[in-house]
């Protein structure tokens, strides 16, 4: 899949579901930059539902099945993403760390149904995704617990089929108002940008990693009961907000979430309420430079553990008591991508795009208090290979000062640090460079290099260089 495009999507996958006839919807990492909803001029004549995703795939229309299904408003997609990475340099000695490599991956199936076309239900559509995941990231081998080197792992329950989400969506007033409800992932809707998943490190894909610090913000591949609303005041502005019923103590545990098919509300412990404003302009005399700007805020009513104090107001690292409960937490973010140069004579999505993200958490309860990232992507720079692309991204993560203070108190007493860190954490830096090769229709292969400064925010650990690849196969 190519790096970027100014195209439209209907809400859905870990990164949004691309809704034009070119890009896929299932994979958490191969989509281009996308408009939050189909532009008003692109709304189909025969249905008010956003266009069904139709990715470039190995099998375009096997036995005529895909064409027949789409004619009746049904899209079924199947793909595989695989990420391998290995350590170039040795980890710090004497800590039980080891040098090695690991592989992670995910196969997934998505089903989108336009019920207006299928059954005459005006404006209504449904979306669901099921996945199977395997492997662990190599970053654990050298002591990092902040920025997993491979994002496509974990929370899949170690089962063959895990339900990610399933929800219905209604489009009203010529797509000026949109509402969705069901089992939904908070971070598929908010602080998300599919461009970031051209990279493999979890600092970037599929949201800034600091966004998932708060377990009130359900992250793909898990979901909560939720409702999300979108209002479009103008062609290029959108205001979206929602209510997500949180399960902060159970969201990634096997007891409640192993298969994703356990729908009871026994572990609901609050509500997360995000709001996000989106501006999607097109600059340049020929409107060839698309941009996407997002600013958001979220507050939740769940209880969280304090990073420093116990119930008596003393340091729990010294008292031995449990951390006190803090009611409610907040997060704020800004995301941007902007094409600054379009390669003349090439496809609309061929050009140089700058990307950036800033995420801020309530430091009293979060591990990652702040995260900043900045990068650049270029697709189509090589005319003989117009579907190839290259990208570089940099991330800085600052650990909560309160958490660092607690960790230092544990270290001073010679006690293990509870969250699995080997040393008190401060700040960490990750640089990633990738080259995405379009192998053939529906298949991409991307060699990938990563470099960790202060792995896991621990200055005592050796910096680490990784070499690997990310591959994606869209089967149909």
pLDDT, tens digit, for every residue of 47-91? 788 899 989 999 999 899 999 999 999 999 999 999 999 999 999
Q: Which tokens go with 430?
A: 């990750």
User: What does the alpha-carbon distance between residue 395 and residue 208 come to, in Å, rounded to a whole number?
Assistant: 9
Say whether the peptide bond before residue 366 is cis (omega within 30 degrees of 0): no
Strands (E), 2-123: 7-10, 17-18, 34-35, 74-87, 101-114
Domain 7-474 falls under CATH 2.40.160.180: yes
**Cα 456-457-458 angle, rounded to 5 deg:** 90
* Sign of the dihedral defined by the CA atoms of residues 106, 436, 16, 328, in that order: positive
How many other CB atoms are there within 10 angstroms of residue 92's CB atom?
18
Q: What's 264's DSSP letter? A: -
Looking at residue 455, the DSSP 8-state letter turns out to be G
Q: What is the pLDDT of residue 28?
A: 34
**Euclidean distance between CA atoms 188 and 93, whole angstroms:** 39
Strands (E), 73-209: 74-87, 101-114, 124-134, 162-172, 177-184
Nearest in space to 34 (alpha carbons), one of 145, 143, 197, 214:
197
Overall pTM > 0.95? no
What tokens does 369 get?
């208090």
157 contacts 254 by C-beta, under 8 angstroms: yes
Query: Average pLDDT for consecutive 10-residue bins of the chain (476 residues)?
Result: 32 31 33 53 66 92 92 96 96 94 96 95 96 94 95 88 96 93 96 92 93 94 96 95 95 88 93 97 92 97 97 96 97 97 91 97 97 96 91 98 97 92 97 96 97 97 97 95
For the record, the structure tokens of 30 come out as 């191969």
DSSP summary character for residue 31: -
Burial track 435-471 (b if 16+ CB lie within 10 A, e otherwise): ebebeeebbbbbebbbbbebbbbbeebbebebebbbb
pLDDT at residue number 252? 86
**Distance, CA of 48 to CA of 68 (rounded, Å):** 20
Neighbours of 98 (CB within 10 A): 10
Q: Output the six-digit token pair for 354.
A: 């700058």
Distances (CA, A) of 114 to 65, 121, 123, 323: 17, 9, 8, 49
Q: Is 381 left (phi over 0), alpha (psi -120 to 50) or beta?
A: alpha
Say if residues 175 and 6 touch (Cβ distance below 8 Å).
no
């Amino acid at each position: 899949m190519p790096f970027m495009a100014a195209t439209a999507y209907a809400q859905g996958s870990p990164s949004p579901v691309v809704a034009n006839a070119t890009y896929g919807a299932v994979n958490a990492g191969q989509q281009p930059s996308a408009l939050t909803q189909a532009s008003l001029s692109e709304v189909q004549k025969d249905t008010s539902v956003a266009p069904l995703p139709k990715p470039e795939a190995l099998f375009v229309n096997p036995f005529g099945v895909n064409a027949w299904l789409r004619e009746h408003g049904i899209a079924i997609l199947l793909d595989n993403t695989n990420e391998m990475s290995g350590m170039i340099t040795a980890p710090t000695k004497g800590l039980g760390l080891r040098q090695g490599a690991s592989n992670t991956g995910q196969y997934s199936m998505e089903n989108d149904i336009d019920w207006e076309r299928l059954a005459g239900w005006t404006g209504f559509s449904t979306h669901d995704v099921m996945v199977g995941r395997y492997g662990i990231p190599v970053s654990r081998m050298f002591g990092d617990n902040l920025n997993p080197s491979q994002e496509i792992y974990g929370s899949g329950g170690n089962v063959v089929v895990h339900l990610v989400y399933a929800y219905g969506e209604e489009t009203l007033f010529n797509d000026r108002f949109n509402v969705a409800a069901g089992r939904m992932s908070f971070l598929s809707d908010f602080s998300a940008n599919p461009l970031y998943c051209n990279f493999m490190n979890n600092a970037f894909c599929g949201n800034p990693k600091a966004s998932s610090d708060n377990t009130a913000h359900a992250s793909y591949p898990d979901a909560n009961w939720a409702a999300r609303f979108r209002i479009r005041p103008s062609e290029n502005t959108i205001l979206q907000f929602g209510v997500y019923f949180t399960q902060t103590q159970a969201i990634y545990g096997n007891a409640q979430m192993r298969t994703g098919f356990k729908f009871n509300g026994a572990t609901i412990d609050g509500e997360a309420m995000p709001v996000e404003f989106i501006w999607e302009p097109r600059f340049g005399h020929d409107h060839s430079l698309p941009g996407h700007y997002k600013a958001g805020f979220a507050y939740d009513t769940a209880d969280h553990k304090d990073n420093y104090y116990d119930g008596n107001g003393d340091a729990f690292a010294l008292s031995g008591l449990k951390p006190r409960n803090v009611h409610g937490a907040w997060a704020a973010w800004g995301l941007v991508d902007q094409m600054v140069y379009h390669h003349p004579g090439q496809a609309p999505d061929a050009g140089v795009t700058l990307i950036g993200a800033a995420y801020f958490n309530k430091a009293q309860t979060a591990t990652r208090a702040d995260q900043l990232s900045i990068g650049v992507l270029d697709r189509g720079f090589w005319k003989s290979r117009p579907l190839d692309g290259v990208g570089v991204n940099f991330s800085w993560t600052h650990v909560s000062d309160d958490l660092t203070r607690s960790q230092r108190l544990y270290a001073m007493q010679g006690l293990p640090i509870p969250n699995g860190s080997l040393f008190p954490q401060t700040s960490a830096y990750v640089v990633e460079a990738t080259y995405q090769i379009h192998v053939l229709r529906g298949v991409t292969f991307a060699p990938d290099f990563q470099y960790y400064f202060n792995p896991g925010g621990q200055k005592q650990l050796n910096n680490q260089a990784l070499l690997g690849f990310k591959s994606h196969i869209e089967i149909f």
